[in-house]
Amino acid sequence: MANSPKYAGIEAREKLGWWRAYRFLILRRLCQLSIILMFLSGPTWNIWILKGNYSSSILFDLVPLSDPLITAESLATGYLPEWKTLLGAGIVGLIYALLASKAFCSWVCPVNIITDCAAWFRRKLGIRQSAKLPRNLRYGLLVMILIGSAISGTLLWEWINPVAAVGRIFVFGIGATLWLVMAIFLFDLLIVEHGWCGHLCPIGAIYAVIGSKSIVKVGVVDRKLCDRCMDCFHVCPEPQVLRLPLNGKPEDSQLVLSKDCISCGRCIDVCAENVFSFTTRFKKEIPIVNQS
């Protein structure tokens, strides 16, 4: 029998323990906050680990890191960025192309903290009504941003980029960008479930394309273990990606191969029956993480 969304994960916590039921959530928060601290370490303690922001930064004054979307916008305007920017975008793109599908969205992006909070409140308050938006809309927005940048000759997305805005809040304090953060939170809470990350974000769209053939994947260990509690669907920001590997035909892959999976591991956390595991696209039967 399906569990109520309000109680998603409680069965796993009671059966497997607190750490097992929240480990990937905790590790993601530690990763996101560690990156924020790396930006703060210079202005606060004069220890410069990351200089810059989420759009463009340099690690240890040596390794350039650039947002692939802002780099693509620059190229669309006809402006050729300096070689460090291109190298930084190449480094970031290569890391996420090899690592895991949309790992930036769940393990790095500060907006994910806000949208996860909105999703948690939705479950706890029992808010089930949700407007319907096509999930492919984010890819259309990505194309429109690039075309708009080409026509206008400006970095169109950077006017409202919420990732950069949230980053500025952590570094410089709450200011004029607070309205944008609140708008995303309320949009996800009251209008569309997982609305921003799951339907609109063009940054997520470009990382989905980049990481579509990445190595690390979520896999179904054994479909027979599933008791249809639905906890994984309740907490997954992209629940549609679980349907085929979990409920597909015997000949269908039991790996979550969809480029929309954000590799957050919450389906692994909340499953009391150990149905899911992180694995690789090359090891379809032997999971990396031992669930025993």
Sign of the dihedral defined by the CA atoms of residues 217, 185, 146, 177, in that order: negative
Q: What is the pLDDT, as a whole number, of residue 158?
A: 83
End-to-end alpha carbon distance in the chain: 24
Can you give the residue ranges of every domain in the chain? 10-14+214-280, 25-210
Q: What is the pLDDT, as a whole number, of residue 173?
A: 58
- Kindly give the pairing relationship between strand 276-280 and strand 216-220: antiparallel
Tokens describing residue 80: 């050729």
How many angstroms from the chain centroid is the CA of residue 241? 14
How many angstroms from the chain centroid is the CA of residue 188? 15
Tokens describing residue 256: 């979550």
Q: Tell me how far CA of residue 247 lies from CA of 244, 251, 257, 264, 266, in angstroms.
A: 5, 11, 14, 20, 18
CB crowding 257-280: b at 16 or more within 10 Å, else e? bbbbbbbbbbbbbbbbbbbbbbbb
Question: Which residue type occupies 150?
Answer: A
Phi/psi for 171 (5° steps) reads -85, -45
Q: Profile the chain (292 residues) by mean pLDDT over runs of 10 residues.
A: 88 94 97 94 91 92 95 93 94 96 95 95 91 93 96 88 77 67 93 94 96 94 92 95 90 90 96 94 57 44
Cα distance between residue 231 and residue 271, in whole Å:
7
Q: What is the pLDDT, as a whole number, of residue 290?
A: 44
Interior CA angle at 100 toward 39 and 221, to 5°? 135
Classify burial at 165, counting beta carbons within 10 Å of its beta carbon; exposed 0-12, middle 13-18, buried 19 or more: buried
**What is the CB-side half-sphere exposure of residue 101 using CA atoms within 13 A?**
25
Q: 2 — alpha (psi -120 to 50), left (phi > 0) or beta?
A: beta
